[in-house]
Each structure stands twice: as C-alpha cells, then as structure tokens.
Amino acid sequence: MSNLSYANGGNGAWQTFLAQVDRVAPYLSEDLADYVDTLKRPKRALIVDVPIIMDDGSIQHFEGYRVQHNLSRGPGKGGIRYHPDVELNEVMALAAWMTIKTAVLNLPFGGAKGGVRVDPRKLSARELERLTRRFTSEIAHIIGPQKDIPAPDVGTNPNVMGWMMDTYSSGQGYTVTGVVTGKPVHLGGSLGRVKATGRGVYITGCQVAEKLSLNIENAKVSIQGFGNVGSEAANLFYLSNAKIVCIQDHTGTIFNASGIELNALHAYIEQYQGVAGFEGAERIDNEAFWDVETDIIIPAALEGQITVARAHRLKAKMVLEGANGPTYPEADDILNERGIMIVPDVICNAGGVTVSYFEWVQDMASYFWSEAEINDRLDKLMVQAVEDVWTCANSNGCTLRTAAYILACERILKARKERGIFPG
C-alpha cells in the first residue's frame, strides 16, 4: 500500500514512469530492489508563484515548478519547459526520466526538471524576459552548478538560459556560467549544444537501424515536432538520403510520398513560422500522421503521443523517441508484439544532456573545445550507451527500454545503497 498522495490513479506522465519502474524491478538484484521505492518519489519539488508586470501594466501570475527527482549520483540536471499544459505530475515524470537518462549515459548527475505553465508564444520578448528572471529568482535557492543545473526544453532556448544565468549571477555577485547549460556560445555555452539532441536521435537511430539491417538511404522518415530536436534529426536523415515523407508541427501535418525538400521547407518556415501551407507537400489531417507508410517514425514533440490505438495503426519498423515519454506502457507492449523496434527516449534523446555535461565541464575549467571535438565525444558516448543497452537487452531477453532502465537503476540504486540512508 502506498502512502503517497500522488502515486495512484490517473493516466499522466508520472504514472507512465511508475509503470516503467515496476517493469524493471524484477530484473534488479535483491539488494538493490530494496531501494526501488527511492525512484517512486521525487526528492524535492518546489512550486512557485511567478507574478509579472505585463507590457500593458497589468499583473499576471504564472505557476512555476522545479522538481529534483534524484540526486544520488550528483547534482540535478534537466531542462525548463514553457508550455500552457505544464503541471506538477508532468514535471515529476520529466525529472525522473532525466535521472534515468543521465545514469544510462553514465553522466555524473541526478535528474531534475522545471517548467512554467505559460504559452511563450503569447508573451512579448520583454514579458518573456521578466517571467524568466522572476522564475529564476524564485528557484535560485535550490539551483547552482553543484546543486541543480537547468537547461532548455520545449518552449525555452539559449536566450532564456542567458537570462537565467545573468539573474542567478546577479544574486551571487559574480558570473556563474555553470548554473545553466544550453547558453549562447559567447556566454559560456558549448559549440554543438543546439544541434546535439537531434544529432543523438540520428546517431542512435542509425546504429539500431544497422543492427536491424534497415538501410537509411531511401528509408522513409516521419517526424512529429519540428523544433530543435525534430528539425535537426530531419536534416541529418535528409543528408543521408533518407526520404522525409511526413512532418507534423503546431500548425499542421504535411506529406509527400517522394520526400519533402528540406531546404525549401526551412526557407518557408523562416517566413511563415510553421509547416502548414508549404507548397512542396500535401496537407493531411493531423491524426493521419499515425497511418503514414514509413520506415522510421520520430515523435519529437510532447509525451503521451503513442496511445494503444495509435500503436495498432503504426506502419513504421522503428520508433525513435526524440521526445520524452511519447509512448504509453501499454502501447509499448503492442509495438513490441508487432515487432516494431523502439529506441527509447532515455538513450535516443540523450544527446542534449550529454553536450550539456560537456558545457558544464568546459565552464568549470574555463577552457573550451572545438565543435569537432564535441561531436566526436558525443558520438562515442552515445554509441557506447546503445551498445551497452543492446547487449543488456539481449542477455535479459527484454526490450531496449527495460534494458536501459536496468543499467540506469543499477547505477542509481548502487549509489543510493553505498551512500546509505541518513541518519542510519
């Protein structure tokens, strides 16, 4: 029986995470299984009120969060999301997935996440800056280069990170570059960070495709979400001569069976801020995205996209989880039964946090690496992580997701066990 107020019921992202933990528990050694409950409750969750003065002089209040799910392996790490649907249940799950992600990649971090329940598209640039600065000052006492290091996520970008760094630094009285990652390069950011998540999706996707003897050249690729992650993954698959047949973003869904010409699409988006209306493809219904004949499908937007019903309909051979938590546990089972390979979020989209780690290391050393060095180190770490997960899946006869959770939970819970429970 659980004594937690937030553990039971619902179909939210946190419940998805709990189901994933339950699936891995039977694979853990008995001494570690004793500690599994650690993962089912966030270490620390902060809810803050973020009042700001709007451009018209009125005052508006927004709800903000920072959740530190687990700090057993090091400082918290994870992005800040600005989205109108942000809520505690979601931020808890996103923080928990960061715990797993940093552990699978063996980065010396725990997992955290934050967010503000706001539609950033509806704010002016000045309002966005005020919101960011107030939110940062509200969470300043629990973040820091050795405590918890935010980064961009859905709805935030390097500029927002620059404001966060500046606000935190003002409070400290000196410049603290290492408090956030994903900053603009001239403010202590890292080369290669912006493209890192999409690059990781491509690297892990190609590696698993090779194991399945799926040729990337001429492979059909469909992508949901054309932001930082989806667009860079699309670019790299396109450069490998894959056919990008379908793209969905917040404006609609476009389809072209012989492949969308990406250079023309980027030029169009520059002008119209979305894919809808692009003349080099046909507009289809949003729901039809899930029926498209494709080899690779990349959910690169929000969680909870691949439902049971959609899992039955998918035509793809491979799902690359660019987004965090896009697949419900029951849908996972269906895809698995249908022989559709999932490269799970906790490895597939880990390129971003991996280069965030490099950024943090560079900030600490005040010594910066070349982009070639960064990409080279990123590729090596990701390839190794996929190899480890693949081997673990084969030896346990389980999915790549469960294997990733086995490797991660062994590292997290071993750290928890060795640190001991205070006061003992």
Binding mask 117-156 for ligand GLU (x = CB under 6 A): ----------------------------------x-x---
- Of 20, 343, 352, give the one whose Cα is nearest residue 204: 343
Stretch that binds ligand GLU, among 72-80, 210-218, 243-251, 267-275 (CB under 6 A): 72-80
101 is in an annotated binding site: yes
With CB under 6 A as the contact rule, the residue among 64, 78, 155, 299 that binds ligand GLU is 78
The footprint of ligand GLU on residues 331-350 (CB under 6 A) is 349
Instruction: Calculate the alpha carbon distances from 113 to 65, 94, 226, 342 in Å.
Output: 8, 6, 22, 24
Catalytic residue among 40, 113, 220, 243: 113
Distance of closest approach, residue 4 Cβ to ligand GLU, in angstroms:
24
Pick the closer one to ligand GLU by CB: 146 or 286. 146
The footprint of ligand GLU on residues 175-194 (CB under 6 A) is 181-182
Distance of closest approach, residue 151 Cβ to ligand GLU, in angstroms:
3
Which DSSP string do the residues of 104-121 spell out, in sequence order? Answer: HTT-S--EEEEEEES-GG
Instruction: Report how far residue 106's alpha carbon sits from residue 381's, in angstroms, rounded to the nearest whole number.
Output: 9
Q: Tokens 């399945």 — which residue?
A: 212
| Nearest position to ligand GLU, beta carbon | 79
At 235, which amino acid appears?
A: N
228 is in an annotated binding site: yes
Pick the closer one to ligand GLU by CB: 222 or 228. 228
With CB under 6 A as the contact rule, the residue among 16, 38, 68, 324 that binds ligand GLU is 324
- Our answer to whether residue 220 is catalytic in this structure is no
Instruction: Report how far residue 246's alpha carbon sits from residue 262's, in angstroms, rounded to the nearest whole number.
Output: 11
b/e 241-260 (16+ beta carbons within 10 angstroms → b): ebbbbbbbbebbbbbbeebb
239 CB burial (10 A radius; 0-12, 13-18, 19+): exposed
Q: Roughly how many angstroms between the first and final C-alpha of the chain, as a whole number?
A: 24
Pick the closer one to ligand GLU by CB: 33 or 142. 142
Distance of closest approach, residue 156 Cβ to ligand GLU, in angstroms:
9
356 is in an annotated binding site: yes
Stretch that binds ligand GLU, among 22-30, 77-85, 134-142, 213-221 (CB under 6 A): 77-85
Residue count of the chain: 424
Is 79 a binder of ligand GLU (CB under 6 A)?
Answer: yes
Instruction: Calculate the alpha carbon distances from 171 to 21, 144, 174, 372 in Å.
Output: 38, 11, 8, 35
Give the strands of the sheet with 252-255, arranged side by side: 282-284, 252-255, 243-249, 220-224, 296-299, 318-320, 341-343
Q: Which residues bind ligand GLU (CB under 6 A)?
A: 77-79, 151, 153, 181-182, 324, 349, 352-353, 356
Q: Residues annotated as binding site?
A: 77, 101, 197, 228, 356
Q: Which residues are catalytic?
A: 113
